[in-house]
Every structure is written in structure tokens, then in C-alpha cells.
């Protein structure tokens, strides 16, 4: 848990520095888990292959809530932030945050794989460390309402459910 808190503290420090900078507008974009071409969450790439081969288990209760964003939607949101953003923090995520226990089995099904294994937290800690366990069990999703409202942006892939599906 210490690693997770340290990472969050470092991110907050960086965000505060950006928001407090007087020489720039100070816009912070918090991207969700990126998927799509050029990412590790794309057909044939590392994370999808781990899921396909049942090497990406649900840890603990799988209660961590992930927010995803297709890489093309992330690019569009970045342009919208440059054109319409003002000082502040924007979550660049899709409309459908989901628990690991929901999205991971759904992705396995899309990939034609068996359901992911479930492992207790202590086993997850051995392979993914404390940070990985926190991602799988404690992460909270994010809302894109402010980005949609203030940046005049809408994700073309409003849900990972359609975004993960083969084209």
C-alpha cells in the first residue's frame, strides 16, 4: 500500500505544480487505461495476450474500478483541451467505469479465452506487487463529465465494451 500512496502523492505533487504554474494555463489531463492501436491493450499485444493465455487473473474480489479510454479518443480529448480547456484537471475516460471482476472476464470472452483465474491478494502481491494489488482491488473509477462539459468533447468509443470488440 505504501508504493500506491507514494505514487499518488507524487502525481498530486506534479499536478499541483502544473496547476500553480504562472507561465502557462495549467491544464492536467488524467487519462484512463489506454487501449487500442499502439498500446499494450490491443489485439496481439502484451496485456491482451496475457488475458488470452490466462496469465492476467482477477486479484482478490476484483473490486478495483478501472476507467478506460481508446487511444483515438485520448488524442481527440487532448486537442479539445488545447483548444477549449482552462486551468484545471480533466479526466479523459470513457462513460463506463467498471470493476476488474466485470471487465476482465468480458475481455477474455471477446478474445475467445477462458475466464480469468481468481487469486487471493497475497498471491497477486507476489506477482504484481502492492501497487498491482491496489489496482485490482482498490482503484476508483473516474467521471468524464467535466471534460465533456467544458471541452465540448465526447468519446467516439463511449464504452470499453464496444471498444474491446473486434472491428
CATH number at residue 60: 3.40.50.720
- Report yes or no: 28 and 88 within 8 Å, Cβ to Cβ: yes
Residue 56 lies in a domain: yes
What number of residues does the chain have?
167
* pLDDT tens digits, 18-63: 777 788 788 999 999 999 999 999 999 999 999 999 999 999 999 9
Residue 14 lies in a domain: no
- Per-residue DSSP letter, 50: H
pLDDT at residue 66 in the model: 97
Residue 2 lies in a domain: no
Helix (H, G, I), strand (E, B) or coil at 93: coil
Q: Which stretches of the chain score pLDDT less than 50?
A: none
Measure CA 105 to chain center: 16
> How many domains does the chain divide into?
1
Q: Which domain holds residue 57?
A: 29-163
pLDDT at residue 138 in the model: 92
pLDDT at residue 101 in the model: 98
> pTM for the whole thing?
0.88
pLDDT at residue 17 in the model: 80
d(CA 50, CA 41): 10
pLDDT at residue 4 in the model: 61
Residue 101 lies in a domain: yes
Residue 6 lies in a domain: no
Residue 7 lies in a domain: no
pLDDT at residue 1 in the model: 56
Amino acid at each position: 500500500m505504501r508504493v500506491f500512496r507514494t505514487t499518488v502523492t507524487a502525481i498530486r505533487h506534479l499536478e499541483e505544480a502544473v496547476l500553480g504554474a504562472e507561465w502557462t494555463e495549467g491544464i492536467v489531463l488524467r487519462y484512463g487505461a489506454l487501449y487500442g492501436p499502439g498500446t499494450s491493450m490491443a489485439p496481439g499485444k502484451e496485456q491482451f495476450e496475457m488475458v488470452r493465455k490466462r496469465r492476467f487473473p482477477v486479484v482478490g474480489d476484483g473490486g478495483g474500478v478501472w476507467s478506460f479510454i481508446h487511444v483515438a479518443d485520448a488524442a481527440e480529448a487532448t486537442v479539445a483541451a488545447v483548444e477549449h480547456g482552462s486551468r484545471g484537471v480533466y479526466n479523459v475516460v470513457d462513460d463506463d467505469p467498471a470493476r476488474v471482476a466485470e471487465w476482465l472476464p468480458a475481455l477474455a470472452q471477446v478474445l475467445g479465452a477462458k475466464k480469468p483465474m481468481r487469486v487471493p491478494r497475497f498471491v497477486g502481491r507476489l506477482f504484481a506487487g502492492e501497487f498491482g494489488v491496489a489496482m485490482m482491488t482498490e482503484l476508483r473509477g473516474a467521471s468524464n463529465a467535466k471534460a465533456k462539459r467544458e471541452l465540448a468533447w465526447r468519446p467516439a468509443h463511449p464504452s470499453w465494451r464496444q471498444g474491446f470488440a473486434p472491428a
